Chains A and B, each alone.
Chain A
Amino acid sequence: MAKVPENLKYTKDHEWISVSDGVGVMGITDYAQQAMGDVVYVELPEVGRVVAAAEDFVVVESVKGANDVFSPVSGTVTEVNEALDESPELLNEDAYANWLVKMELSDEGELDGLMDAAAYTKLVEELEAENE
């Protein structure tokens, strides 16, 4: 089954985020990269863009299709992972080591609405059972 690290927060749309000192690092989960298949291109947002929670702000393209990625929280984009421009396959290699966006959170309270690893593991198990 897809990997779900303990120390991260998750959304039902298969994004992860970790926060320290008000700065969030987010990406897509291992389950998401497996479901998408070979990633061929990542369209990253502009630095400085202000996004609301659940707003789509990244597109991950695979051979099968294009997938919107939603921001787990509200905030401002401070940095994007430019390594993905040249090497989108990094997301397939390790979806957690290869983050998408760093952002300044506008309301850390929103993190409470996200899933912890246990809840997300349960969701992934259910989905994987459905697809069997």
Chain B
Amino acid sequence: MKKTPMDTLFETSRPGRSGFTLPDLDVPEVDCAGILGTMCRENSPRLPEMAEVDVVRHFTGLSKMNFSVDDGFYPLGSCTMKYNPKLNEMAARMPGFSRIHPLQPENTVQGALELMHSLGAMLAEITGMDAVTLQPAAGAHGEQTGLMLIKAWHESRGDMKRTKIIVPDSAHGTNPASASVTGFDVVEVPSDSEGMVDLEALKGLMDDTVAGLMLTNPNTLGIFERHILELTETIHKAGGLVYYDGANANAIVGKVRPGDMGFDVLHLNLHKTFSTPHGGGGPGAGPVGVKAQLVPFLPVPVIAFKDGAYHLEGQNVHPKTIGRIRSFYGNFGVLVRAYTYIMSLGPDGVRDVAEMAVLNANYLAKRLSALYPMAHKGHCMHEFVLNGGPLKAETKVTSLDVAKALIDAGFHPPTVYFPLIVPEALMVEPTETESRETLDRFVEAMETIVAKARQEGPEAFHDLPLTTPVSRPDETTAARKPILTWQFDQE
């Protein structure tokens, strides 16, 4: 095997080294076997043995192999990779937030409870819902919680035959997966020629087994479902509830409220719309908002303000609750960041997020439309999908090739091959936090790449990217013969 970009911790380890010293034991010594008996661990786990400097250099080296929002433009469609303000990081690290125990007496955590109570109220106002739970740890966890609420509502009415959740064919994979893990059957509704939900097809699916519909609006093509009021009314007439997937809420905050469009339950991704950092894949937070009829079913504990103080209320106060969906109250540290963000923006700032995200997207879409056909007609919302099919047909250069070429140009690629309904899709979401110069530089890079595809053909792309620590990985071997932990015996 050739030189690897970074040795693993396990190769760097040297017996006898250590990166931390504990204080001397200030109480009498005890014997492990005397306490734990046969359960006292004898064979040491093979954890690294390293000095602090080597640990820091190792992880600093790893960090340098990542592309991040702090490095540059990250137009990853559907992921809302906006700038993550540094103030939010500082806020979450204040000892009064980071060093408090979740089971402390309520009267010793009133500041934390007030912060959560206010954040819930602000998210309810922004979305037009009646109440919000902050507990779900991620978007998919929010979807699962929201669907549980729908299930509990139908069950509470004795309506046990509602087994189907309808999901558009353009939906994120989490939608059908969440419906399935919540015990529902998934029924797909097709998109029409404009990429919107086919209203007639939806009407054809209506019967008394429909529990609800999950919808992202704007949808994954970046267009607003024009018939939204008819869609939600159709479901309500059939006795179902409508779920709003907040993945694309960055287009509408301060402009349109899901609660006003007829949605009954929704989740927001705080790590998208509300600027909390993605952390390379988490932690996020997926608060769930509901209309009044679903409030009694919200997970416990519920944060309430009564008699001049904040309280955590349990099942004794909320007998219809679906129960707990995780330990404690949510990813509090993420909530602190989102709270700080919204309070820093204010009412105008929140609306400006959506307007500027949409303006940036339309500006970029118009500039790129000289290179690619768009998957939508007219204006887009906060993101748009380029159809890479014609370029591939003409030059045999795929959207994956284009993505890899963008990496060499210093940009994170857009989302590729999603949504599934557009061939060779390239899904671009610039967000509001990018300047016009950045967008222009991205367009220039795309122009260069498309010209190169036409002049040099696919061979010029096969080895890209060239500027990264590694080139394209062999994913087939990775999946056929999985190596999922360090193989100590190969040393």
Contact = CB atoms under 8 A, between A and B. Distances in A.
A41 interface: yes
| 5 tightest Cβ-Cβ pairs between the two chains A and B | A40-B479, A38-B476, A40-B480, A63-B475, A63-B476
Which DSSP category, helix, strand, loop or mixed, fits chain B's interface?
Answer: helix
Interface of A: 38, 40-41, 61, 63, 88-89
A38 B481 CA distance: 13
Interface in B461-491: 475-476, 479-480
Contacts of A88: 480
Contacts, number: 13
Contacts of B475: 63
Given A38-B476, A40-B479, A63-B479, 8 more contacts: A38-B480, A40-B476, A41-B479, A41-B480, A61-B479, A63-B475, A63-B476, A88-B480
Contacts of B479: 40-41, 61, 63
Nearest to A61: B479
Nearest to A39: B480
A126 B380 CA distance: 36
Interface residues of B, number: 4
B130 to A, nearest CB: 40
A60 B475 CA distance: 16
A38 B480 CA distance: 9
Contacts of A89: 480
A41 B478 CA distance: 11
Contacts of B476: 38, 40, 63
A38 B476 CA distance: 6
A127 B479 CA distance: 28
Contacts of B480: 38, 40-41, 88-89
A72 B159 CA distance: 38
B463 to A, nearest CB: 19
13 contacts: A38-B476, A38-B480, A40-B476, A40-B479, A40-B480, A41-B479, A41-B480, A61-B479, A63-B475, A63-B476, A63-B479, A88-B480, A89-B480
A41 B475 CA distance: 13
B52 to A, nearest CB: 40
B481 to A, nearest CB: 9
A125 to B, nearest CB: 20
A41 B477 CA distance: 11
B205 to A, nearest CB: 22
A4 to B, nearest CB: 26
A81 to B, nearest CB: 16
B164 to A, nearest CB: 19
A130 B479 CA distance: 30
A44 to B, nearest CB: 16
Contacts of A41: 479-480
A39 to B, nearest CB: 8
Nearest to B480: A40
A83 to B, nearest CB: 14
Contacts of A61: 479
A88 B475 CA distance: 14
A63 B476 CA distance: 6
